[in-house]
Amino acid sequence: MNKQAIIGLSLFLIVIVLAGANFLFSSQESEHAKIEEKFTIPEEEVGDLNAENKNNFNEEDYEVDKLKDISFCEKLKNDFEKNECFISVAKQNGNLSACDQIKDYSERDNCYLDILEMHYAGKFELYGGSHIYYLESVCKNMETKNTRDDCYLMMALNEKSSSFCGVINNQVKRNSCYAELEGDWESAIKSNLGIELTLSEEFIEAFGTPYYLGIDQGRKGEIIQFPFKDRETYSRKGLSLKAYTKDYEGDHTFPLYVFGDWKGEGSLKERCLEYKAPYERDCRVLEIGGKEVVLETVLSTYEGACDAIVLIYLNNDSDSPYKGLNFSLELPDFSESVCNSFLEKSYESLVSDFHIQSEKILEGQGLSEGDSKKLTLFKDMIGSIKFLK
């Protein structure tokens, strides 16, 4: 074969190879276009959802204002994009049901926490923004302990209520929660009850300081509560304060709210002398620091347990709507002397012991040293109360 023939054949082969390569490239490009068309979501519907991984994901790419509903997210194939889509839908208006769809419980809990944080930041209101039990259920349903603790801590600090501190699992976070709210008890009592309390160091050592527990909505009216807690361990110290609005009507049954239910309406003397109680009681009307006060001893034998406690009622003369002030005071030796071996006693014997010991409380004589000291400290605190107007 001569030289020109060889060159011609070579050129022919090169043309064939180039044509084949071009055909193959065109076919691959066409197939890629078909695949891309199948799985690409129209930009006019949802924006750019092409994040490849969590590290380079930008939430703004989702253009969340274009996301329609949860059903759209469910159509996505990639789990990461699907979760981020649910989160974006949830963050539009606090749609917690979007968080519910996330299968990974850690990611799901973080979604709940983000929504609750946005609620408190004023981005939107969950359940009208007023139903505290609904908000609490968000934390309660979390499966991750750390996130659940963070949720309760967030609620405690935003609601200014120590009731959420007590359910925090991590001790460091729990103590931090109480410590954060400790310094606020004076302003909480002033703003809600319109009163000033003067607590001596000796009183604080015996009873601790009050912590705002929260407001309970009844069928009508409200009740607000302040348990006293140790400043270091945050354990209860046997004293609590609750106050009622005059129109309060509760849903609670005996004995939870029968004890200490003075609403500040009517006569304290009549409450003491004429009240027909469904439990054994003794009562005195006293004057402490110029204030008329009812001192009542109560015997409780609810569900086979025995307890003898002291209740103190007085009117709130401030401008606060909470007009009935109710203190519950535990005197350990008084309760022990009444309830010791109570299962071995007849009910008549138990009642007789109660009235004998109650007389000592009401007269302030014959008490143990510990109970006498606590009762004196308590009366001094009552005498120090100033009503703000």
**Residues 201 and 153 reside in one and the same domain:** no
**Residues 47 and 111 reside in one and the same domain:** yes
297 bridge partner residues: 282, 310
Confidence tier at 275 by pLDDT (50, 70, 90): confident
Interval 62-81: pLDDT, tens: 444 444 578 888 888 888 88
**Residues 285 and 170 reside in one and the same domain:** no
Domain annotation covers residue 38:
no
Helix axes 347-363, 332-339, angle to 10 degrees: 150
Return d(Cα 338, Cα 345) in angstroms, integer: 11
Question: Does 295 score more than 60 pLDDT?
Answer: yes
Does residue 76 sit in helix, strand or coil?
Answer: coil
Q: 15-29, 49-63, 142-156, 295-309: which has the highest mean pLDDT?
A: 142-156
**Residues 78 and 164 reside in one and the same domain:** yes
Interval 21-49: pLDDT, tens: 454 444 444 433 332 333 233 433 333 33
Interval 89-117: pLDDT, tens: 999 888 899 999 999 999 999 999 999 99
Domain boundary among 164, 179, 194: 179
**Residues 316 and 332 reside in one and the same domain:** yes
Domain annotation covers residue 337:
yes
Task: Express the helix, strand and coil content of the chain in percent, nearest 5 each.
Answer: 55, 15, 30
Neighbours of 250 (CB within 10 A): 18
Domain annotation covers residue 355:
yes
Domain annotation covers residue 25:
no
**Residues 217 and 142 reside in one and the same domain:** no
**Residues 251 and 321 reside in one and the same domain:** yes
Question: Does 178 score more than 90 pLDDT?
Answer: no
Longest dimension (CA), the chain: 137
Domain annotation covers residue 36:
no
**Residues 81 and 210 reside in one and the same domain:** no
**Residues 120 and 206 reside in one and the same domain:** no
Comparing CA positions, the residue from 206, 235, 209, 210 lying closest to residue 225 is: 210
Domain annotation covers residue 2:
no
Q: Looking at the whole model, is its pTM more than 0.85? A: no
**Residues 247 and 117 reside in one and the same domain:** no
Does residue 239 sit in helix, strand or coil?
Answer: strand
Beta strands in 32-77 (DSSP E): none
What is the model's pLDDT at position 139?
A: 94
**Pairwise pLDDT comparison (90 vs 258), residue with the higher score:** 90
Domain annotation covers residue 226:
yes
What average pLDDT score do residues 156-173 get? Answer: 88
Domain boundary among 179, 207, 230: 179
What is the model's pLDDT at position 129?
A: 52
**Residues 166 and 226 reside in one and the same domain:** no
Domain boundary among 179, 213, 236: 179
- How many residues can be counted in the chain? 389
Domain annotation covers residue 279:
yes
Which residue range is the domain that position 369 belongs to? 185-387
The structural domain count of the chain equals 2
**Residues 163 and 296 reside in one and the same domain:** no
The encoded tokens of residue 255 equal 């004995």
Comparing CA positions, the residue from 278, 288, 281, 275 lying closest to residue 314 is: 288
What is the model's pLDDT at position 254?
A: 41
